Chains A and B, each alone.
Chain A
Amino acid sequence: DAGVTQSPTHLIKTRGQQVTLRCSPKSGHDTVSWYQQALGQGPQFIFQYYEEEERQRGNFPDRFSGHQFPNYSSELNVNALLLGDSALYLCASSDDAGGDTDTQYFGPGTRLTVL
């Protein structure tokens, strides 16, 4: 049973650039959430996608956007990168339709460094 996968593992960008991170949910899961974990902190909720729509959003600027595809995989896009965007970006999936909707399973994360 494949767990949550994310790509790439690491990424280095410069200020002002744009980045796209990718996530494939756990098999059978239909909901994807994204979190940002800055160094030494707990993860912070960015947004959640279900049925290809963003249905909940945390306190992040519009520079952060996402997409969910028909196969439930998801992308996180960040525009106009700032140094403060350097963090571990975690994807989590859950199963809305199957009864375990409240348990989120996390991927290994993408480490983004902005120079």
Chain B
Amino acid sequence: AQSVTQPDIHITVSEGASLELRCNYSYGATPYLFWYVQSPGQGLQLLLKYFSGDTLVQGIKGFEAEFKRSQSSFNLRKPSVHWSDAAEYFCAVLPFSGGYNKLIFGAGTRLAVHP
């Protein structure tokens, strides 16, 4: 069955430090891949997505993610974290394309930022 694993439940970084959030997926083919962010009590905001092509994708708020087929990974990175980045981050997989799009989410990684 398709699944998404985010190994880190909680991460704390200092403001200005770099960040990497891990995501691994289990799927036979290369799925479409997404990162969403959720602030407390809010819905999900799309940060970036990967469908095909360049394996390094740029998103909003200075985030980027790299798709590595050999590792079935799609890790999210940011070179310098701001206090406003504190939130929960979800990696998601879309096993099918062209409609019938049922996103499968990981359990999330909660990011705390120390001043």
Contact = CB atoms under 8 A, between A and B. Distances in A.
A53 B1 CA distance: 26
B49 A103 contact: yes
Contact of B100 (A35, A40, A56): A56
Of the listed residues A6, A31, A103, the one surrounded by the most CB atoms of chain B closer than 10 A to its CB is A103
Interface residues of B, number: 27
Contacts of B101: 31, 33, 48, 94, 101-102, 104
Of the listed residues A58, A96, A102, the one surrounded by the most CB atoms of chain B closer than 10 A to its CB is A102
B107 A103 contact: no
Chain A contact surface mostly: strand
Contacts of A103: 34, 46, 49
Interface of A: 4, 6, 31, 33, 35, 40-45, 48, 50, 55-56, 58, 90, 92, 94, 96, 101-109, 111
8 contacts: A41-B108, A43-B90, A102-B51, A106-B43, A106-B44, A107-B43, A108-B42, A109-B42
